[in-house]
Amino acid sequence: MLKGLIIRQPWIDLILSGKKTWEMRSKANSRPSEKIDVEPTATQPPTPEVRTDNNGHTLNFRPETAQAYGRPLPDGRFLVFKDSTAMRSGSPNVKRDAHDRDRLVREGVLVPDGANRYRFTRDHAFSSSSKAAGIIKDGNASGPSLWKHVKSGRSLKDSETLGSEGVAR
């Protein structure tokens, strides 16, 4: 009988980045706490730098195995940070952003990163959070509801309806 350990998001990313080094198991698993040794390898993608503006408005989006970080820009565009990842093949439905994705690959903004991902080689500004989410997910996406604040977990849509004090406008 093969035995294995399934580690779900976001824990696997924390383990691979070296930020999580201990796994605490319950008694039901009948195994004591385990030390996890993670050695960086050439196949591990770089973790996107989590940057914030002066107001701490960094958002993330995690479709399947991709992980992207970004923030809205004052002019209404949406900036995705370097080293964020995007799905190479996501939703099987019609993809409205396929031509834009292909252009980003041709321009070297997106490069292959593993079997089913692309990686951003530099920061890239999209016309909207939905355009960015669609490229990252490889399918149609509603950016305001999918991009979440790193600190609060609140969606971009929810934060747009709340003032800086957290009070509805």
Give, in degrees to the nearest 5, the angle at Cα 106 between 103 and 109: 85
Strand partners, 87: 117
CA-based end-to-end distance of the chain: 58
| pTM (predicted TM-score) | 0.64
> What percentage of the chain exceeds 90 in pLDDT?
34
Q: In this model, does residue 28 exceed pLDDT 60? A: no
Report the C-alpha gap between 165 and 56 in whole angstroms: 14
Return the pLDDT at 2: 52
Confidence of residue 161 (pLDDT cuts 50, 70, 90): low
pLDDT digits (tens, 9 = 90+) for 57-68: 789 998 888 899
102 token code pair:
């292909």
Whether 95 and 140 have beta carbons less than 8 Å apart is answered as: yes
Quote the crossing angle between the two packed helices 98-106 and 129-137, to the nearest 10°.
80
Q: What average pLDDT does the segment 50-57 reach?
A: 53
